[in-house]
């Protein structure tokens, strides 16, 4: 696989995957890059270029088999396997993610939650048991956990990330409103407000242009 795939291309892959799953669901068997570009609002040559980063998936002028392409991209995204995940911090966002059924569909299994709040510890949420934060280290030693989802307040996030890194999880999906930095494991920092502020930018621009 080409190691120099740009971040922009990588970030478009989940979007291709979503659209292909939807096309497959509604029974579309074959699609051209032009048709795919129209339904996704992307440029057809960009789609072909993106796919070429991975050796291309179709023949010129022939188009793509939707199911084959979906499976290829699924494998590239590492989604042809099961991930065991834990949630750290079971507040608003943690609880929402614990109950988010779509993750299970995509092969993610949340097996435990951890929180410093002793009134939560011992309870279950959507069949996920909540353990005290102090048990996390031992839990990670005894269980092969691939993924940790940080949903703690800002102040705790970096320390939790450091502990996860030492314990050897493979990846951190961070929802705390601060970027966490750790060496040696993969991290995705999610900032919900970034997309909200992109929206307000567009709203302000539309308002100034008077187009709406």
Binding site for a copy of itself (CB under 8 A): 1, 3, 8, 10-11, 13-15, 17-18, 22, 76-79, 83, 91-93, 95-97, 99-100, 102-103, 106, 108, 146-147, 170-173, 177-178, 184-188, 190-209, 212
Nearest residue to 87 (alpha-carbon basis) of 76, 97, 79: 97
Q: Select 76 or 136, whichever has its Cβ closest to a copy of itself.
A: 76
Nearest residue to 176 (alpha-carbon basis) of 104, 97, 105, 117: 97
Nearest distance from C-beta of residue 153 to a copy of itself, angstroms: 10
* Contacting residues for 187 by C-beta, under 8 A, at least 6 apart: 161, 171, 172, 174, 180, 181
Q: Select 93 or 133, whichever has its Cβ closest to a copy of itself.
A: 93
**Two tokens, residue 37:** 């570009």
Nearest distance from C-beta of residue 159 to a copy of itself, angstroms: 17
Q: Select 80 or 134, whichever has its Cβ closest to a copy of itself.
A: 80
Nearest distance from C-beta of residue 59 to a copy of itself, angstroms: 25
Q: Select 96 or 122, whichever has its Cβ closest to a copy of itself.
A: 96
Plot region of 84 (φ>0 → left; ψ -120 to 50 → alpha; else → beta): beta
**Two tokens, residue 165:** 């890194």
Q: Give, in order, the Cα–Cα distances in Å from 4 to each of 42, 105, 129.
A: 22, 30, 41
CB 70 within 8 A of CB 21: yes
Q: Select 59 or 209, whichever has its Cβ closest to a copy of itself.
A: 209
Nearest distance from C-beta of residue 6 to a copy of itself, angstroms: 11
Q: Select 129 or 202, whichever has its Cβ closest to a copy of itself.
A: 202
Nearest distance from C-beta of residue 74 to a copy of itself, angstroms: 9
CA 202 to chain centre: 25
Nearest distance from C-beta of residue 200 to a copy of itself, angstroms: 4
């Amino acid at each position: 696989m080409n190691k120099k795939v740009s971040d922009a291309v990588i970030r478009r892959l989940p979007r291709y995957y979503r659209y292909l799953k939807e096309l497959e669901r509604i029974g579309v068997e074959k699609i051209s890059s032009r048709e795919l570009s129209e339904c996704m609002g992307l440029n057809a040559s960009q789609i072909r270029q993106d796919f070429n980063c991975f050796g291309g998936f179709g023949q010129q002028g022939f188009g793509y088999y939707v199911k084959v392409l979906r499976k290829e991209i699924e494998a590239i995204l590492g989604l042809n396997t099961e991930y065991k995940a834990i949630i750290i911090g079971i507040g608003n966002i943690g609880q929402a993610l614990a109950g988010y059924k779509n993750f299970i569909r995509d092969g993610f299994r949340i097996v435990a939650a951890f929180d410093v709040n002793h009134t939560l510890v011992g309870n279950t949420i959507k069949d996920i048991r909540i353990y005290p934060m102090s048990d996390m280290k031992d839990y990670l030693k005894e269980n092969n956990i691939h993924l940790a989802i940080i949903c703690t307040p800002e102040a705790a996030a970096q320390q939790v990330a450091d502990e996860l890194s030492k314990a050897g999880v493979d990846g951190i999906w961070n929802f705390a409103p601060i970027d966490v930095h750790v060496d040696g494991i993969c991290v995705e920092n999610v900032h919900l407000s970034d997309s909200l502020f992109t929206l307000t930018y567009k709203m302000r621009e539309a308002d100034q242009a008077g187009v709406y």
